Amino acid sequence: MGFEYIKALHIIFVVTWFAGLFYIVRLFIYQTEAMERPESERAILKPQLDLMASRLWYIITWPSAILTLIFGLWILSYRMGYLQLGFMHAKLAFVVLLYAYHLGCHFLFKEIQKGRTRWTSTQLRIWNEVSTLLLFAIVFLIVLKNTLSMIWGIVGLVGLGVFLMTGIKIYKKYRTK
């Protein structure tokens, strides 16, 4: 299989993996809020949300994470020289953080499927933005291929994080009115 096909498949599975990560945490929020509803509503909402989360997690998100890794390693086999470049070290560090985030989501998934959660819906909204920050970091590093630009990127990520947290606080105030 040609390099460009492998690269295209890697990008496709990165996109589907992120779609799954973005939506699974949104489902965690809905599941958590459903557990706070009266029993009559919870009895209807919880099984449906659990089913949706289970299908998303096991049919889309996990397979996409695995295929992203396989195709990413395949790409690296064509570009072994990249492993000596600083930007690639930084990018791979963020990828490791992304897989750690994925595993964190897996633990949350298992807990919520059992009807338990230690996180509030607001905490989950903040958790949901972690994947956004990782996406920005990874994409900018791979496109710019420059660790000096990474410094400006980190400044931008911090700014984006502040912007997202401010948006979450404003949304929370709006929801409570």
Residues whose CB falls within 8 Å of the CB of residue 20, separated by 6 or more in sequence, listed in order: 56, 57, 60, 61, 64, 65
Q: Does 106 count as an annotated binding residue?
A: no
Q: What is the DSSP letter of 118?
A: S
Q: Does 91 count as an annotated binding residue?
A: yes
Residues whose CB falls within 8 Å of the CB of residue 168, separated by 6 or more in sequence, listed in order: 122, 125, 126, 129
Residues contributing to the annotated binding site for heme: 10, 91
Tell me the binding residues. 10, 91
